[in-house]
Structure 1
Amino acid sequence: MSPAGMGSMSPAGMGSMSPMGMGNMGTMGATPPQVTSGSPMTPAGGVVPTTAPVFEQSYIENIFRLNLGKVGTFYFTYENNKDWNAKVYTGVLEAAGRDHLIISDKATGQRIVLLMVNFDYATFEEPLIYQYPGTIGNPPTTRNCW
């Protein structure tokens, strides 16, 4: 079938839509308000301001960030390494990111960047600050352990 046999469609006819058509969606109403995650809204669509405290989520890097400056022992495993499979590092927790942490040895002043992909666990000789979602302040430091 030739283009002439398909009927005539002018460029104006292809792009025109009714006033309520999809071509006019951007102009149909006001832009909705910006809403922070978890903020309550009114039935009319307004955002209710809250003064709720913001808590870090309990990911390991956030726990480390809450405890910067503390001395810890950090255990790491390095798979497929014929020289050393596991290593233990002790030092002051200087910084923590999503994929790394930085510790320093006070005796030598050396700083070590450690990748979290190899991290197993850590121990500390002092109480840790651990503020998890939904709790104001820190949990009680005295606990009944069996």
Structure 2
Amino acid sequence: MQPSGGYLPPQGQPGQPMQPMQPGQLATAAPSPAAFLEQSYVENILRANRGKIATVYMTFTGQTQEQVFVGYIIGAGRDHIALKDVNSNKTYILLQIYLDYITFDEQITYPFPT
């Protein structure tokens, strides 16, 4: 029987417990790994270069002067960059909404077709 209304029945891996669904939640098919490889977003580029030193230039609301952060890329998400300062023990979570641009002093990994 074919499901109707865009609903896909939950599918788990053999031997792994299935997660309970919340009321009103629709199951969706997970995108293939290849789908993520072709998405050239800032967070994906930063994740591919985790551990490298980056210089992040940002301008915050209400400010006219750009602020510069230099540090090791710890990780990145859709809305943020996690950076470990090279000169201190500080870790910054920087919101991408304020991002101007990023530079690297070394070759970066760019895992997308050029």
Q: What is the TM-score normalised by the length of structure 1?
A: 0.53
Q: Which residue of 2 aligns with 1:106?
A: 86
Q: Distance in 1 between matches of 2:31 and 2:87?
A: 45
- Residue 103 and residue 59 in structure 1: after superposition, are their counterparts in 2 closer, same or farther (change >3 A)? same
| CA displacement at 1:86 relative to structure 2 | 1.5
Contact in 2 for aligned 1:79/1:85 (Cα 8 Å)? no
Within 5 A, what are the aligned runs for 1:56-95? 56-81=38-63, 85-95=65-75
How many residue pairs match? The answer is 89
Within 5 A, what are the aligned runs for 1:11-50? 30-31=1-2
Deviations 1:17-52 (A, max 9, x none): xxxxxxxxxxxxx216x67669xxxxxxxxxxxxxx
- Residue 86 and residue 67 in structure 1: after superposition, are their counterparts in 2 closer, same or farther (change >3 A)? same
Which of the pair is proportionally richer in strand?
2
1:96 equivalenced with 2:96 (yes/no): no
1:118 equivalenced with 2:89 (yes/no): no
Counterpart amino acid of residue 77 in structure 1: T
Q: Distance in 2 between matches of 1:112 and 1:71?
A: 13
Structure having the higher Rg = 1
Q: Which 5+ residue runs of structure 1 have no aligned equivalent?
A: 1-29, 39-52, 140-146
Q: What is the TM-score normalised by the length of structure 2?
A: 0.67
Contact in 1 for aligned 2:55/2:104 (Cα 8 Å)? yes
> Larger RCO: Structure 1 or Structure 2 (Cα < 8 Å, ≥ 6 residues apart)?
2
| RMSD after superposition | 2.4
Counterpart amino acid of residue 55 in structure 2: T
Q: Distance in 2 between matches of 1:36 and 1:78?
A: 36
Q: Distance in 1 between matches of 2:71 and 2:99?
A: 15
Counterpart amino acid of residue 71 in structure 1: I
Q: Which 5+ residue runs of structure 2 have no aligned equivalent?
A: 9-28
Identity of aligned residues (%): 36
